[in-house]
Amino acid sequence: MAKKITKKIKLQIPAGKATPAPPVGTVLGPAGINLQEFCTKYNDATRDKMGDVVPVEITVYEDRTFDFVLKTPPTAFLIKKYAKIKSGSTKGSKDIVATIKKSELREIAETKLPDLNAYTVEDAMNIVEGTALNMGVKVEE
């Protein structure tokens, strides 16, 4: 018989840096799961992605066990990383703060493809380009 799910929790945590302290502890503590066990498993699973923010979807079961699924880093995070900026424009596409190359846009789209609502890399590139423009990041040929 399948375990009964009591809660699904979504968090964005820097890879390899989960600790039982807030914000992880304050979100997962009330769910009743072992914080140290989660942090150890998450840090081991994300050790190769150090420096990135990795979203995680945690499924908590009735017997206080849990499973988690790692997602791809947020599109905005990847765009800022490639453009080497701290934050996007506050005025959106009216104020261009950085540029990225089409090849970098393709790399971001290929990374994000599993989590996007797109079937081809070209479709994913259109989605990522829209996010980039809204952040004030222009895409060059």
Which residues make up the CATH 1.10.10.250 domain(s) of the chain?
Answer: 75-140
Q: Which CATH topology does 5-70 take?
A: Ribosomal protein L11, N-terminal domain (3.30.1550)
Q: Please state which of the four CATH numbers 3.40.50.1860, 3.40.630.10, 3.40.470.10, 1.10.10.250 is assigned to the domain occupying 75-140.
A: 1.10.10.250
User: Under a CB-based contact definition with an 8 Å cutoff, are residues 140 and 98 in contact?
Assistant: no
> What local confidence, expressed as pLDDT, does residue 6 receive?
85
Which residues make up the CATH 3.30.1550.10 domain(s) of the chain?
Answer: 5-70
Read off the pLDDT of residues 50-70 as tens digits, 9 standing for 90 and up.
888 889 999 988 888 889 899
pTM confidence score? 0.77
> What local confidence, expressed as pLDDT, does residue 1 receive?
59
> What local confidence, expressed as pLDDT, does residue 114 receive?
85
Instruction: List, as one string, the DSSP characters of 32-99.
Output: T--HHHHHHHHHHHTGGGTTSEEEEEEEEETTS-EEEEE-PPPHHHHHHHHHT-SS--SSGGGS--EE
CA atoms of 102 and 122, how far apart (whole Å) = 11
